[in-house]
Amino acid sequence: MSDKPSVTVAGIDCGTNSIRLKIARVDEDGMTDVVPRTLRVIRLGQDVDKTHRFADDALERAYAAAREFAAILAQHDVDALRFVATSATRDAANRDEFEDAIESILGVRPEVIPGTEEAALSFLAATSVVARHGLRAPYLVVDLGGGSTELVLGGDGESAPDTQVAAAFSMDIGSVRMTERHLHDDPPTQAQIDAAVADIDAHVDEAFAHVPAGRARTIIGVSGTVTTMTALTMGLPEYDHRAVDGVRVALDDAYAVDDRFLRMTRAERATYRTIHPGRIDVVGGGALVWSRVLDRVSKAAADDHGEAIDSFVASEHGLLDGICLDLGRRTLARMTA
C-alpha cells in the first residue's frame, strides 16, 4: 500500500438508461478501484422525450437501485460522494421529486450537470489512459448515452495537455431517444431508419458548428452502447471489459456489425449474452447513432487534413471514472491544503 496521501471517493452516474456506482481510492498517481463499477439498468428516461416527466415505475426502479447502492456504501469509509444526473433528469419536469427521494436514500442530492460538464468529465477519464495505448492527438471523445451524446475535442498533440478540452457539444440523441422517437417496429422499417438518420445528422450538423471534429486524429468511444457494440464486433461470446478496454476497431467492421444488430428483431438480439438484458431493446438505436457519428467524423477529418480516420478506440473509462477522478483530486487538494 502506498504511503502517499489518498482519499476514498464514490461516484454515481445516473443516465437515461442505466445507473452506475464506483468507489475508488485516488492519490497523486491516479485512481484504484475499491468497488469496481456496479451497474443497474433502470430506464429512468422511459418516455421522458415524449412526456417530459419521469414515469412512476421508472422512479421506483431508480429508488431500488439507490437503496442497493446505499447498502454498498455503508460498508466503506468514503471521504466524499457525488451523484451526477444527466440527460433525462435535465428534461424532466418532476425532477424535484426524484432529487428529494434520492437525497433521503443516499444523503446526497443529485447534481443535474449540463452537457458541457458531462463532456469534460468523460474526456478527463477517457484521456487519462491515452499514453498507455499510444494514441495520436488531437482526440475526439464520443460519449453515447441513452438520452444524449457528447462530442469532446482536445489535446492538440503539441502545446495542450491530453486532458485539456478545446471544444465540446452535447446532442439530444441517444439509444433510448432514437428508439422511442423513430424505431417503433420490430425490426425497424427502412423508413424509420431513414427518419432516425436524418434526425441524427441534423444534430451532428449542429454539433460540428461548435466542435471542429475534423481536426481529430483519434476517436475514443465511451459508454455502454460503444463498448457493447465493440464486444460484438470482436465476436466475444460474453462481455469482457478487460478485452474491450483500449481495443482498436476498424470503422468498416463497426459499420457492418452496427447495421446487422440494428436490423435484428429483439428476440434475435436477446440470444447474445454479450448484450446486457437492459440494452436489448435500445442497442440498435444506439448502434445507428454510433455509426453515423463515426462516418461523419471520419469524413470531416478527410476534408480537414486529407486523412480519413479509419478506426476508433473503445474505452471503459467514461463519465463515471471522470466523476471519481475529479472528485478525488478536489477532495485530496482540500484535505492536504
First to last CA, the chain: 23
Angstrom distances, CA of residue 10 to CA of 115, 167, 237, 317: 21, 28, 31, 15
Taking residues 41-59, report their average pLDDT: 91
The model's confidence at residue 69, banded by pLDDT at 50, 70 and 90, is: very high
Tens of pLDDT, residues 151-189: 999 987 567 677 788 999 999 999 999 999 999 999 999
Q: What CA–CA distance (Å, rounded) separates 200 from 171?
A: 9
* Residue 1 pLDDT > 50: no
Tens of pLDDT, residues 110-134: 998 887 888 889 888 888 767 667 7
| ∠ CA 263-229-310, rounded to 5° | 100
Identity of the amino acid at 46: Q
Taking residues 274-279, report their average pLDDT: 94
Q: Can you give the residue ranges of every domain in the chain? A: 6-114, 116-319
Please return the burial class of 316, using the count of CB atoms within 10 Å of its CB with bins 0-12, 13-18 and 19+: buried
* Residue 49 pLDDT > 90: no
* Residue 26 pLDDT > 80: yes
The model's confidence at residue 5, banded by pLDDT at 50, 70 and 90, is: very high
CATH fold match for the domains 6-114 and 116-319? yes
Closest by CA to 221, choosing from 149, 277, 114, is 149
Residues whose CB is less than 8 angstroms from the CB of residue 35 and which lie 6 or more positions away in sequence, other chains included: 10, 21, 22, 23, 72, 76
Its pTM surpasses 0.85: yes
Cell of 7: 482519499
Please tell me the CATH superfamily of domain 6-114, with its number.
ATPase, nucleotide binding domain (3.30.420.40)
Tell me how far the alpha carbon of residue 138 is from its chain's centroid.
Answer: 20
Which of 40-49, 265-274, 276-285 is predicted least confidently? 40-49
Report the CATH number of the 116-319 domain.
3.30.420.150
